[in-house]
Homo-oligomer: A and B are copies of this chain.
């Protein structure tokens, strides 16, 4: 319902993006910029890893479209975000800077989420209402429900969005969170980014159904399936979900069909368990060129703008990298600080 209609030839026949989304051209370009920036930071992280300058990368490549579209319907500052390790685009949308992203990637003292204590891509930022994320998957669904419960009890108009993969969605905690959210009609959205794999395990071996979204009916909430390469489709689905949340109509489960363009992480060789056809099909579902072409076709993105944007982003990524690489490590003397609240 939210997805781009296509001709038999596969070419989109939707109205132009601005009309379809009701978003001004500048905003659409911002969304594209966010995706391109996330991609560029992610690609740089891999280079840093392969050249031995960072220990670990877990990548957002292929997931940026869904997250950028979803976040375009949210209000940073007002709303809460519970990201996961592929939420690079989302945390940028919520205000995290490229420098902060790189500080986290390098594990420096000024990493806003953990001060260098957590692995890369374990985002958090109190200044942005991005809750601290951990590694055990799925737990954040319950935190989101708790945050949304507090919003509801205080009558505060506030939407809480929690993100995870389709594998994580099978954890008992997610079932319990959706049940609680459904009962209390909480202002919350669960975004399941279904890339078809949990590391090496294909969806058919870890999810009993093709579409995680069908589970929403078991919790008395709408379950919406969107195409993660259709950025504005994701936006429109989220716009409705946000409206429901703010008007007391309760939670929504949105499943975005995305692709994982890289191995699970820098420690994983996906060629060991994925066929070349499968990988090629994945590459064909890259949201970045898809959205770029959409804007181009609508004359919203010209060669000049693309060139300027590319230069700007290169500059931002270089700056963030140099800044973070030169930044100070945590002080070993702080090893046992903040286990408990500190006096004063």
Residue positions of A touching B, CB distance < 8 A: 170-176, 178-183, 204-209, 214-215, 217-221
With A171-B172, A172-B172 in contact, is A178–B219 under 8 Å at CB? no
Q: Is the CB of B176 within 8 A of A205?
A: no
- For the complex formed, measure the closest distance between the CB of A100 and the CB atoms of chain B, giving whole angstroms: 34
A262–B183 Cα gap in the complex (Å)?
A: 26
A178 touches which one: B173, B178, B183, B208 (CB < 8 A)?
A: B208
Q: Is the CB of A170 within 8 A of B176?
A: yes
How many copies are assembled?
2
A173–B254 Cα gap in the complex (Å)?
A: 23
Summarize A's interface: helix, strand, loop or mixed. Answer: helix
Q: Is the CB of B183 within 8 A of A176?
A: no
Q: Which residues of B contact A173 (CB under 8 A)?
A: 172
Q: List 13 A-B contacts (CB under 8 A).
A: A170-B179, A171-B176, A172-B173, A175-B175, A180-B208, A182-B208, A183-B204, A183-B205, A183-B206, A208-B218, A209-B218, A209-B219, A218-B218
Closest to A181 in B: B208
Q: Which residues of B contact A217 (CB under 8 A)?
A: 209, 214, 217-218
Q: Is the CB of A172 within 8 A of B176?
A: yes
Q: Which residues of B contact A171 (CB under 8 A)?
A: 172, 176
Q: Is the CB of A214 within 8 A of B205?
A: no
A132–B187 Cα gap in the complex (Å)?
A: 42
A208–B217 Cα gap in the complex (Å)?
A: 9
- For the complex formed, measure the closest distance between the CB of A15 and the CB atoms of chain B, giving whole angstroms: 34
A218–B174 Cα gap in the complex (Å)?
A: 13
